[in-house]
Amino acid sequence: MPRGPDNGTGETGSPKESPAGGAVPASFEDALLALVPGLRRYSHSLARSDADGEDLLQDCVETVLARRAQWRGVNLRSWAFTIMTNLYRNRHRAAVRRPTTVIEDAQDVAVPDQTGDPLERARIRAALESLSPENRTTLMLVVVEGYSYQETADILAIPIGTVMSRLSRARHQLAEQLAKDNIVALRRPK
């Protein structure tokens, strides 16, 4: 299944919900709501700030709702992640054209309370900014979201070999950037 959600037809699989178009509204929305924490994690790992991350999440949920008629009843999670990836790529392209977009997220969004180390997250985000959107999405899907290489390939609509080469580049670049920080991460005792 190499195509994104808008292009392919006749995909087979084991639908968890009723077939496309026949989904009960409440269950679609409940299913989407259950995906929000994972989508939020992904959007925040792609975005430049938590505010941007919430904005991207909102865009994604809106898009999923707007396109629900196109959903074919198979794996809502992957479909939503595909949409998120595309939205992120669009934004990234737009941001490259006009780098001063910091005010665009000037909205009142609720950002989750965080318990992690904000300095560490800021550091990681700064290092991730050097990755291309292609390499960054691949790395996040595999490492943070825990998708298999095949699932990642499906979400990104690329061959698995490309997943591997992107992963390799992403790890290499990220290591270089983090090394510039001159901060050595210590392994936590398990």
Chain positions contacting other proteins, by CB under 8 A: 29, 32-33, 36-37, 40-41, 44-45, 48-52, 55, 57-58, 61-62, 65, 98-108, 110-122, 124-126, 139-140, 142-144, 148-149, 164, 167-168, 171, 174-175, 178, 185, 187-188
**Residue 96: closest CA among 48, 40, 157:** 48
Residue 127 CB coordination number (10 Å): 18
CB of residue 146 to other proteins, shortest distance in Å: 9
CB of residue 129 to other proteins, shortest distance in Å: 10
Looking at the Cβ atoms of 10 and 99, the one nearer to other proteins is 99
Tell me the DSSP string of 101-120: -GGGG-S--------S-HHH
Looking at the Cβ atoms of 19 and 160, the one nearer to other proteins is 160
Structure tokens at 39: 């989508």
Looking at the Cβ atoms of 8 and 27, the one nearer to other proteins is 27
Structure tokens at 10: 């006749």
Distance CA 124, CA 175 (A): 11
Looking at the Cβ atoms of 9 and 50, the one nearer to other proteins is 50
CB of residue 164 to other proteins, shortest distance in Å: 5
Structure tokens at 16: 């968890």
Residue 4 CB coordination number (10 Å): 16
CB of residue 123 to other proteins, shortest distance in Å: 8
